A and B are shown apart, each in its own frame.
Chain A
Amino acid sequence: MDQLLQHLVNGLVLGGTYALLGIGLTLIFGLMSVVNFAHGEFYTLGAYAAFATLALAGLPFFAALLVAIAAGALLGAICERLLLRPLRGHSIDTIMLVMIGVWIAMQNAELLTWGGVARSIPHPFPTAPLTLGPLSIAPLRLFVVVTAAVIIALAWLGIHTTRLGTAMRATFQDRDTAALMGVPIGRIHTITFAFGSALAAAAGALLGPVFLAYPSMGDLASLKAFSVVILGGLGNLAGATLGGLLLGVAEELGAGYVSSGYRDAVGFVAIILVLMFRPAGLFARAERIG
Chain B
Amino acid sequence: MLKRLASTALVALMTLTLLPAGGSAQAPIKIGVIEPLSGPVAASGNYIRMGAEIARDWINARGGVNGRKVELVIEDNKSDPKEAASAAEKLIVRDKVPAIMGAWGSSMTLAAMPKLEEYGVPMVVETSSAASITKRGNPWVFRISPPSEMEALGLEQYVDRLGVKKADFLAVNTDWGRGSIQAFGDMLKKKGVQIGAAEFMEQAATDMNAQITKIKATGGDTLFLTTAVEQITLVLKQGQEQRLTRKIVTTGGSSSPTQLIKQAGAAAEGSYHIVFFMPWFPEAMPDAKLAKAFVDEWNKRGHPFEGLTEGFRGHDGIATIVEAIKTAGKDEPKAIQEALWKVSFTGVNGPIKFEKDGPAGKESGQSKPSIFVVQVRDGKVGLPDFMKK
Interface residues of A (CB under 8 A from B): 3, 6-7, 10, 14, 111, 115-120, 127, 129, 131, 136-138, 140-141, 211-212, 214-217, 219-220, 251-256, 259-261, 263-264
B324 sits at the interface (CB 8 A): no
B211 touches A3 (CB 8 A): no
Distance of A141 Cα from B241 Cα, bound (Å): 9
Task: Give 18 pairs: A residue, B residue, CB < 8 Å, sorted on A.
Answer: A10-B209, A14-B209, A115-B43, A120-B264, A211-B234, A212-B233, A212-B234, A219-B204, A251-B210, A255-B210, A256-B210, A256-B213, A260-B211, A261-B199, A261-B202, A263-B205, A263-B210, A264-B205
Most buried by B among A116, A119, A259: A116
A131's closest neighbor in chain B, by CB?
B243
Distance of A284 Cα from B181 Cα, bound (Å): 45
A214 touches B40 (CB 8 A): yes
CB distance from B310 to the nearest CB of A (A): 11
7 interchain residue pairs of minimum CB distance: A116-B42, A255-B210, A120-B263, A138-B241, A261-B200, A10-B209, A117-B43
B5 sits at the interface (CB 8 A): no
- The 0/1 profile, CB within 8 Å of A marked 1, for residues 190-209 of chain B is 00000000011110111101
Q: SS class of chain B's interface: helix, strand, loop or mixed?
A: helix
Q: Given the known A-B contacts A10-B213, A211-B206, are A118 and B201 also in contact in the complex, defined by CB atoms under 8 Å?
A: no
- The 0/1 profile, CB within 8 Å of A marked 1, for residues 220-247 of chain B is 0000000001100110010011110000
Contact partner of A212 among B200, B217, B230, CB < 8 A? B230
Distance of A215 Cα from B202 Cα, bound (Å): 17
CB distance from B227 to the nearest CB of A (A): 13
Interface residues of B (CB under 8 A from A): 37-40, 42-43, 45-46, 173, 199-202, 204-207, 209-211, 213-214, 217, 229-230, 233-234, 237, 240-243, 259, 262-267, 304
Contact partner of A260 among B39, B45, B200, CB < 8 A? B200
Q: Given the known A-B contacts A116-B46, A212-B263, are A220 and B214 also in contact in the complex, defined by CB atoms under 8 Å?
A: no
A220 touches B43 (CB 8 A): no
Q: Given the known A-B contacts A215-B42, A216-B38, A260-B210, are A136 and B230 also in contact in the complex, defined by CB atoms under 8 Å?
A: no
Q: Given the known A-B contacts A129-B241, A261-B173, are A212 and B206 also in contact in the complex, defined by CB atoms under 8 Å?
A: yes
B38 touches A215 (CB 8 A): yes
Chain A hits for B243, CB < 8 A: 129, 131, 136
Contact partner of B204 among A119, A136, A216, CB < 8 A? A216
Chain A hits for B213, CB < 8 A: 3, 6-7, 10, 256
CB distance from A237 to the nearest CB of B (A): 24
Contact partner of A116 among B43, B237, B267, CB < 8 A? B43
Distance of A173 Cα from B362 Cα, bound (Å): 68
B201 touches A263 (CB 8 A): yes
A10 touches B210 (CB 8 A): yes
B210 touches A127 (CB 8 A): no
Chain B hits for A211, CB < 8 A: 206-207, 234
Chain A hits for B259, CB < 8 A: 117
Chain B hits for A3, CB < 8 A: 213-214, 217
Distance of A6 Cα from B229 Cα, bound (Å): 26
Most buried by B among A118, A129, A136, A214: A118
B234 touches A264 (CB 8 A): no
Contact partner of B233 among A14, A120, A131, A216, CB < 8 A? A120
Q: Given the known A-B contacts A120-B262, A215-B38, are A260 and B214 also in contact in the complex, defined by CB atoms under 8 Å?
A: yes
Distance of A10 Cα from B238 Cα, bound (Å): 11
Most buried by A among B201, B241, B262: B241
B43 touches A260 (CB 8 A): no
B201's closest neighbor in chain A, by CB?
A260
CB distance from B78 to the nearest CB of A (A): 9
Q: Given the known A-B contacts A116-B46, A220-B204, A263-B201, are A252 and B242 also in contact in the complex, defined by CB atoms under 8 Å?
A: no
Q: Given the known A-B contacts A118-B233, A212-B233, A259-B200, are A127 and B43 also in contact in the complex, defined by CB atoms under 8 Å?
A: no
